[in-house]
């Protein structure tokens, strides 16, 4: 389907797009070689006009293509294996469509690809381990699909900075990840095991592991990551937090400003170090729906406190007159039984 007033409605299918003016082929860019060689299509970037149809296998004939963007449309069906012929492709975005099937038949052919966005489709199956051979990758987004299986080790992708695999059906432990990674989103999967290995990724700025089945501790090494700004590990089965009490100018917890540890199995007291970071720099702290107990650090009582978050549904001595304590605590009977089990 070709909507009126869309890019494709401007195309003259009786002409060669590389021998015509740009106004006749909106969204298509051709090469302009200095010698007498033939002009070739190097970029297709469609508008989000609601195009409906299948991606033809003939896409593999555009071997000079460096950029392909079909995002935010209604394309459907499997992605053709001929995509593997696009050896010069550096950017591919097919997000926000209805593509189905797997990616193993073509993705390993994209030897020069730097950015892949396949998010918000209906793609399924595993991520092939050989994706780790695409050494130029800096950004991967496969979120909001139906991918499954274990996430392969990708520590060989040494340029990778952003990995978003959220809202799929991945299982197993955390894979080996590259040391340059800055943003990691694995939320809304079925991943399990410990998260300790993240403490070695010193350039991480953003971590979202929420809604999985992770267990064990939130280790000191994770809270000490020097660039970490946001940490969300809510809705897991984590049981404890290790805290570094040193809070000097170069200390951990200085950069971190948004923390969500809600809906886990955390026990013990709220660390005094948390009170010392409220508002300076922490702007958000969610510890609700755990089994924390005892008195809260005195800084939580400050009327000048400007922070979003919650301590509700724990076993704390936490007056409801304090905004962050709103929602109340667990009944004592639940606390005694649950704390004994954690």
| 292-342 pLDDT tens trace | 999 999 888 876 677 889 999 999 998 888 888 888 999 988 887 554 444
The token pair at 6 is 């869309």
Among 212, 227, 229, which Cα is nearest to 283's? 229
Instruction: Decide which of 18 and 20 is more confident.
Output: 18
pLDDT of residue 245: 55
CA neighbours within 13 Å on the CB side: how many for 286?
A: 16
Check residues 88 and 302 and name the one with the higher pLDDT: 88
Residues 16-22, mean pLDDT to the nearest whole number? 78
Q: In what order do the strands lie in the sheet with 315-317?
A: 267-268, 291-295, 315-317
Give the pLDDT band of residue 56 (cuts 50, 70, 90).
Answer: very high
In a domain, 137, yes or no: no
Cα angle at 61 between 52 and 17, to 5 degrees?
A: 70
Please indicate, yes or no, if residue 119 is contained in any of the structural domains: no
Return d(Cα 213, Cα 325) in angstroms, integer: 26
- Let me know if residue 63 belongs to a domain: no
Tens-place pLDDT, residues 23-52: 689 999 998 876 677 889 999 999 999 999
Residue-wise pLDDT for 220-258, tens only, equals: 899 889 999 999 999 999 998 887 655 444 445 556 788
Is residue 167 one of the residues assigned to a domain?
Answer: no
The owner of tokens 């809600």 is 262
Element (H, E) at 341: helix 332-341
Q: What's the rounded Cα separation, in Å, for the pair 169 and 150?
A: 9
Question: In this structure, is residue 136 part of a structural domain?
Answer: no
Q: Residue 300's domain spans which residues?
A: 192-341
Which two structure tokens, joined as six digits, stand for 20? 């015509």
Task: Enter the DSSP assignment of 176.
Answer: P
Residue 19 resides in a domain:
no
| Structural domain contains residue 149 | no
CB 219 within 8 A of CB 196: yes
Tell me the DSSP string of 206-263.
Answer: EEE--SSEEEEEE-HHHHT-TT--EEE--SSEEEEE-------TT-TTSS--EEE--S
What's the number of domains the chain is made of?
Answer: 1
178: its two tokens: 């590259």
**Long-range contacts, 81-84 (Cβ 8 Å, 24+):** 81/57, 81/105, 81/106, 82/57, 82/58, 82/106, 83/59, 83/107, 83/109, 83/110, 84/60, 84/108, 84/109, 84/110
- Within a domain: residue 146? no
Alpha helices for 4-66 (secondary structure H) = none
CATH number for 330: 3.80.10.10
Average per-residue pLDDT for the chain:
90
Report whether the peptide linkage leading into residue 281 is cis, meaning its omega lies within 30 degrees of zero: yes
Q: Is 294 helix (H, G, I), strand (E, B) or coil?
A: strand
């Amino acid at each position: 389907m070709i909507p009126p007033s869309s890019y494709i409605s401007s195309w003259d299918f009786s002409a060669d797009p590389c021998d015509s003016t740009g106004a006749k082929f909106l969204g298509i860019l051709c090469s302009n070689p200095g010698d007498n060689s033939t002009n070739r299509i190097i970029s297709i970037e469609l508008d989000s006009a609601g195009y409906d149809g299948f991606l033809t296998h003939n896409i593999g004939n555009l071997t000079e293509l460096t950029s392909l963007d079909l995002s935010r449309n209604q394309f459907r069906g499997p992605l053709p294996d001929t995509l593997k012929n696009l050896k010069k492709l550096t950017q591919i975005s097919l997000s926000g469509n209805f593509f189905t099937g797997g990616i193993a038949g073509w993705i390993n052919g994209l030897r020069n690809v730097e950015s892949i966005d396949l998010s918000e489709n209906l793609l399924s199956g595993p991520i092939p381990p050989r994706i780790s051979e695409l050494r130029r990758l800096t950004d991967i987004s496969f979120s909001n699909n139906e991918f499954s299986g274990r996430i392969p080790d990708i520590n060989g992708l040494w340029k990778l900075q952003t990995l978003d695999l959220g809202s799929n059906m991945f299982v197993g432990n955390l894979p080996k990840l590259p040391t340059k990674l800055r943003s990691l989103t694995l939320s809304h999967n079925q991943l399990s095991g410990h998260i300790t290995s993240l403490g070695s990724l010193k350039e991480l700025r953003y971590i979202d592991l929420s809604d999985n089945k992770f267990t064990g501790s939130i280790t000191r090494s994770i809270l000490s990551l020097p660039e970490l700004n946001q940490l969300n590990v809510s809705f897991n089965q984590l049981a404890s937090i290790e805290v570094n009490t040193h809070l000097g100018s170069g200390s951990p917890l200085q950069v971190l400003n948004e923390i969500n540890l809600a809906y886990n199995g955390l026990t013990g007291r709220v660390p005094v170090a948390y009170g010392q970071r409220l508002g300076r720099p922490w702007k958000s702290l969610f510890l609700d729906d755990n089994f924390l107990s005892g008195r809260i650090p005195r800084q939580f009582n400050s009327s000048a406190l400007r922070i979003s978050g919650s301590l509700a549904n724990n076993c704390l001595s936490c007056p409801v007159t304090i905004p962050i304590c709103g929602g109340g605590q667990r009944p004592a009977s639940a606390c005694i039984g649950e704390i004994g089990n954690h």
